[in-house]
A and B are shown apart, each in its own frame.
Chain A
């Protein structure tokens, strides 16, 4: 965030205050997107009022398991994210890239219109915020920025939220994050429910965030509110612990290519690609032509070039000269895990994993990325101590 701003922080009523925030952002011209409960999961979709956001919703997460529960707590942010991430909006699963028409002796290209309004993302967790930053590094690489991504990402207003109730599968603290977003937001909300009452503490992280909070005309926070913000974050951090040394993984996994453990995982992995589809940073994609049925009688006259999400678990992902380079599930799992946790660092100067745990939760076989990475690291350590250094 650039620019200086006064430390603006206000106390919002969990119902009325949140509703006012949603309506103010919409009135300011943003397309307001936030969590909604639909089909038994938390999705991110358009919200018109504060009441569209979940109330009294908690989530149980385990490898291969995600269950929504309702209670009468009235809490607004006690849920954890579902399969969907904000990637859906900045990098849609399927998007038109170009529309190309045959002309006399050549072809003419038209580009899709940019979004009419900038997005406002509501309830962005630290892991989600870091995932957006990872995607930015890939898609806005200065030598070849993706103009469609840049247009969708431009001006995004971020309402972050402190993660008070991390799930059992969350491991952001191992991957350089934590329950409390530290930077990169316009407004940060922390939900507190203690003997001082149930309220949302909203703190500005940017000048425009401060302007929004000032216009909400809410009560300024007191020391109890700010103490509650700290204690919510501390309790959540302590509940998680650190499961792996994420920063060391690129080094620890560098010589794991020949490990027998890939085959051990492959015995369980279905190669379905769910992990890549729910990952908030996976960016692999494919480009394809979609031709319309319109024709000038002799040839197709218009084609749409589309970009759609792809997965390294698809056999044709590594197709080369009519065969797949990564022919086995073990090959493909190795590509996925080593890319996410190791080689991404060298490619883009950042880790590819934010520790959100989605890949573990939405894996139909319940394969836990942390356990598998830990097993590989332990195996490397055993080999090294046995003197089997690979050169």
Chain B
């Protein structure tokens, strides 16, 4: 097995080896969501495309996939994390100076090149705004007048990135906010992002959708009602990713290994699979 003998002597890149990053800033976004700013301790990872994710490892606890919500020209990455399980709680619990291990970037990106010169609608539910933030930033820089952003959250305090929402609006993008339950201080829309899309009845040519799975399926269908072809709708799907490179088999959805073939996938490639309960 000569070819295999060659592989054995290759300088072995260990795709599972984390790269140390130090926490330089921790910002509490909501009651259980925090955005960390991390800087590489030594050499950093390759540059991240909007929509890609990193595997984030907390020493002695475990590793989870987290979409990158922003990168800075100085090499920092921003990760917006909700404390759900042991690892995400450990990640959210880090303080300035703590070190986490990062691997990646992994997965597919939002197809921004294909969105150039077209009317784009971005639909975000809850934490789903995080993987979309870089894509919205890029589109705002390019052509904000052809961009609509629909953002939904359970309640007003769960709305992420208030500064960015204002900045996108000021730049000329149409930003629509909605909440499931309105408090006394909320004077905006109440209801789902799907309801907002249906009510606005804007015409679009392309859509990026990210949020809870049910929100994405109903959102994608509402976007079809806004004139977008199913092949021009992109969603970001999540499964139990452990390796990021298609080796551990845990992120399968039909024939897709979502860690490798996703997370950003074309709606018409997954619509049928998402209709099957427990697939």
Q: Which of B9, B20, B59, B62 has the most CB of A within 10 A?
A: B59
Instruction: Tell me, yes or no, whether A98 is within 8 Å of chain B by CB.
Output: yes
Instruction: Tell me, yes or no, whether A384 is within 8 Å of chain B by CB.
Output: no
Contact A318/B276 with A155-B1, A287-B63, A303-B59 known, Cβ cut-off 8 Å = no
Instruction: Determine the distance from Cα of A156 to Cα of B3 in the docked complex, in whole angstroms.
Output: 11
Q: Is the CB of B276 within 8 A of A258?
A: yes
Instruction: Determine the distance from Cα of A107 to Cα of B101 in the docked complex, in whole angstroms.
Output: 9
Beta-carbon nearest neighbor of B6 in chain A = A154
Interface residues in A348-378 by Cβ distance below 8 A to B read none
Beta-carbon nearest neighbor of B253 in chain A = A325
Instruction: Tell me, yes or no, whether A146 is within 8 Å of chain B by CB.
Output: yes
Instruction: Determine the distance from Cα of A144 to Cα of B5 in the docked complex, in whole angstroms.
Output: 17
Contact A154/B14 with A107-B20, A300-B60, A317-B240 known, Cβ cut-off 8 Å = no
Instruction: Tell me, yes or no, whether A169 is within 8 Å of chain B by CB.
Output: no
Instruction: Determine the distance from Cα of A105 to Cα of B42 in the docked complex, in whole angstroms.
Output: 11
Instruction: Tell me, yes or no, whether A379 is within 8 Å of chain B by CB.
Output: no
Mark the stretch among A27-35, A66-74, A227-235, A326-334 that contacts chain B: A326-334
Interface residues in B1-32 by Cβ distance below 8 A to A read 1-5, 7-10, 12-18, 20, 22
Interface string of B227-266 (1 = CB under 8 A from A): 0000000000011101101111110101101000000000
Contact A106/B20 with A300-B60, A318-B240 known, Cβ cut-off 8 Å = yes
Interface SS, B side:
loop
Contact A144/B99 with A107-B20, A155-B4 known, Cβ cut-off 8 Å = no
Tell me how far the C-beta of A186 lies from the nearest C-beta in chain B, rounded to whole angstroms.
8
Contact A146/B247 with A320-B240, A325-B278, A339-B252 known, Cβ cut-off 8 Å = yes
Q: Is the CB of B99 within 8 A of A106?
A: yes
Instruction: Tell me, yes or no, whether B279 is within 8 Å of chain A by CB.
Output: yes
Tell me how far the C-beta of A20 lies from the nearest C-beta in chain B, rounded to whole angstroms.
23
Instruction: Tell me, yes or no, whether B171 is within 8 Å of chain A by CB.
Output: no
Q: Is the CB of A155 within 8 A of B99?
A: no
Q: Is the CB of B278 within 8 A of A326?
A: yes
Instruction: Tell me, yes or no, whether B170 is within 8 Å of chain A by CB.
Output: no
Partner of B248, one of A98, A141, A285: A285
Instruction: Tell me, yes or no, whether B61 is within 8 Å of chain A by CB.
Output: yes
Beta-carbon nearest neighbor of B248 in chain A = A285
Q: What residues of chain A lie closer than 8 Å to B183, measured between beta carbons?
A: none
Tell me how far the C-beta of A99 lies from the nearest C-beta in chain B, rounded to whole angstroms.
11
Instruction: Tell me, yes or no, whether B112 is within 8 Å of chain A by CB.
Output: no
Q: What residues of chain A lie closer than 8 Å to B242, measured between beta carbons?
A: 285-287
Instruction: Tell me, yes or no, whether B41 is within 8 Å of chain A by CB.
Output: yes
Beta-carbon nearest neighbor of A144 in chain B = B245
Tell me how far the C-beta of A95 lies from the nearest C-beta in chain B, rounded to whole angstroms.
11
Beta-carbon nearest neighbor of A152 in chain B = B8
Q: Is the CB of A102 within 8 A of B247?
A: no
Instruction: Determine the distance from Cα of A102 to Cα of B41 in the docked complex, in whole angstroms.
Output: 13
Contact A284/B8 with A97-B16, A109-B17 known, Cβ cut-off 8 Å = no
Tell me how far the C-beta of A155 lies from the nearest C-beta in chain B, rounded to whole angstroms.
5
Q: What residues of chain B lie closer than 8 Å to A146, measured between beta carbons?
A: 15, 247
Q: What residues of chain B lie closer than 8 Å to A153, measured between beta carbons?
A: 1, 4, 7-8
Q: Is the CB of A288 within 8 A of B248?
A: no
Instruction: Determine the distance from Cα of A144 to Cα of B243 in the docked complex, in whole angstroms.
Output: 11
Q: Is the CB of A154 within 8 A of B239?
A: no
Beta-carbon nearest neighbor of A207 in chain B = B2
Instruction: Tell me, yes or no, whether A51 is within 8 Å of chain B by CB.
Output: no
Interface string of A297-335 (1 = CB under 8 A from B): 000100101010010100011111110011110110011
Q: What residues of chain A lie closer than 8 Å to B254, measured between beta carbons?
A: 338, 343
Beta-carbon nearest neighbor of B16 in chain A = A97
Q: What residues of chain A lie closer than 8 Å to B240, measured between beta carbons?
A: 316-320, 325
Instruction: Tell me, yes or no, whether A222 is within 8 Å of chain B by CB.
Output: no
Interface residues in B78-131 by Cβ distance below 8 A to A read 84-85, 99, 101
Q: Is the CB of A154 within 8 A of B247?
A: no
Q: Is the CB of B247 within 8 A of A138?
A: yes
Contact A343/B59 with A97-B16, A156-B1 known, Cβ cut-off 8 Å = no
Q: Is the CB of A98 within 8 A of B8?
A: no
Q: Is the CB of B247 within 8 A of A144?
A: yes
Instruction: Tell me, yes or no, whether A147 is within 8 Å of chain B by CB.
Output: yes
Interface residues of B (CB under 8 A from A): 1-5, 7-10, 12-18, 20, 22, 41-42, 59-63, 84-85, 99, 101, 238-240, 242-243, 245-250, 252, 254-255, 257, 273, 276-279
15 contacting pairs across A/B (C-beta < 8 A): A98-B16, A100-B59, A105-B41, A106-B20, A109-B17, A144-B15, A144-B245, A151-B12, A156-B4, A283-B249, A289-B60, A318-B240, A343-B252, A343-B255, A347-B257
Interface residues of A (CB under 8 A from B): 1-3, 97-98, 100, 102, 105-107, 109, 111, 114, 136, 138-141, 143-147, 150-151, 153-156, 158, 257-258, 283-289, 291, 300, 303, 305, 307, 310, 312, 316-322, 325-328, 330-331, 334-335, 338-339, 342-343, 345-347
